[in-house]
Amino acid sequence: MDNNEHPIFIPNSYQIYTKPTEYLANFILSNISQGHHGCSVYGGGGLGKTTAQQYLTENASRWLVNMKTKQQIGVAARMVMPSGIRRSDRAFWTAINRRLKLVNAIRMDPGLGLERLVNFIRTRCGQARQRRMVLFIDNAQRITEAEYQYLEDLDGLVLDEKLSLFLVLVRQSDAEGVDVGDDWLERPSHTVRRWFMDTAPFRPLMGIAEITHALGRYDRSVAWPTPDMPFSRYFAKDAFDRGWCLSKDAPVIFEGVRSLRKEYKLPETDAWPMATFTLVVHSLLADIAHEKPDFNGFTPEQVRHVLLASGYLRLEFVRAKMRMPDLGHDEAA
């Protein structure tokens, strides 16, 4: 079997359930229970917002449930808001329909575009015997004020169908986040009432407990090609069968991150963005655990090597808005 077929090497071929994803799910459920029509989430690049949306969309039946009755309360879909300037409702509804793969037309009548979207929501809810759709809109900072008015039209038509549309507006901010007040202060009250009654940051993994939990997903939750072959076992079968697992090495991995930050005088933090976390895990498993015949756990030297090779420092210097030093031999290691 070709190892390159493994999902770990294929972009967007798997997602893991992390604590930040759990916080996002609970935030959405809280807003639904309060009767809101949507909520706003923001975060810098590389934190894992897209992966979390993909996981929650594909696993709606696991989390989109009533906590008391354990019954499913909706379905989920996701789209990425396209960039560019849309100067009319025709352009907006065409873009939405194309991103949801409802039409291939370059241009379409705005009334038809709106009706297609209402029908999409009606059909998805009807198939699942639900009355609510949660729609994640990634890169929602690209939505203009005029386009929020178009979304109000959609919201009203869905309500006329005795259905509910809940928008999760996922907005890209800079590395330090945005002022929560920016989400609503300059917006008209009817827009705030619908979608900006609550706002939350999307966080990176925070501290060794959340990192250990995320590493544990590779030991149990994601498997290929059979359910008895979690990712960590696939790349280190003998060690795994002797009792090793990836999450057991969380302390040495976490300490490797802290030591490297201290060595390069980066600000102290327990935060680890998913962008480099997954790259480091991929390299530890595929390049070290899989290639070392007598593997039985990672050493601090191996962790440091992988952190440098993964580009961890480069992203962290950008996030800290600091000038990156010349890493010389270390960067090429």
What does the DSSP assignment read for 237-279? HHHHHTT--GGGGHHHHHHHHHHHHHHTTPPP--EE-HHHHHH
Mean pLDDT of the chain: 92
pLDDT over 60 at 57, yes or no: yes
Quick one: tokens of 274? 């998913």
Helix (H, G, I), strand (E, B) or coil at 287: helix
Q: Where are the alpha helices (DSSP H) in the chain?
A: 19-33, 49-58, 60-63, 89-99, 110-128, 145-160, 189-195, 207-220, 231-235, 237-241, 250-263, 274-283, 300-310, 312-319, 329-332
pLDDT over 80 at 328, yes or no: no
Give the angle subtended at the CA of 155 by the CAs of 60 and 80, to the nearest 5°: 55
Question: Which pLDDT score, from 0 to 100, does residue 333 have?
Answer: 40
pLDDT over 80 at 4, yes or no: no
The number of residues in the chain equals 333
Mean pLDDT of the 136-165 span? 95
Nearest to 150 by CA among 126, 117, 124: 117
pLDDT over 50 at 174, yes or no: yes
CA 69 – CA 123 distance, rounded (Å):
25
pLDDT over 80 at 331, yes or no: no
Question: Which pLDDT score, from 0 to 100, does residue 175 have?
Answer: 38
Question: Which pLDDT score, from 0 to 100, does residue 179 have?
Answer: 53
**Tens digit of each residue's pLDDT (9 = 90 or more) over 282-314:** 999 999 999 999 999 999 999 999 999 999 999
Question: Which pLDDT score, from 0 to 100, does residue 231 have?
Answer: 98
**Tens digit of each residue's pLDDT (9 = 90 or more) over 254-283:** 999 999 999 999 999 999 999 999 999 999
pLDDT over 90 at 176, yes or no: no
Question: Which pLDDT score, from 0 to 100, does residue 218 have?
Answer: 98
Quick one: tokens of 40? 């706003």
Give the angle subtended at the CA of 112 by the CAs of 95 and 135, to the nearest 5°: 50
> At a CB cut-off of 8 Å and minimum separation 6, what does 265 contact?
none
Question: Which pLDDT score, from 0 to 100, does residue 27 have?
Answer: 97
Specify burial of residue 124 (Cβ count, 10 A radius: 0-12, 13-18, 19+). Answer: middle
pLDDT over 80 at 184, yes or no: no
Quick one: tokens of 310? 């993964």
Q: Are 273 and 319 in contact (CB under 8 A)?
A: yes
Nearest to 251 by CA among 200, 209, 288: 209
Give the rounded percent of residues in the chain with a pLDDT score beyond 90: 78
Tell whether pTM > 0.75: yes
CA 80 – CA 100 distance, rounded (Å):
9
CA 167 – CA 16 distance, rounded (Å):
23
Q: Which residues face 65 on adjacent strands?
A: 72
pLDDT over 50 at 177, yes or no: no
Quick one: tokens of 26? 């609970």
Mean pLDDT of the 228-238 span? 97
Peptide bond into 225 cis (omega under 30): yes
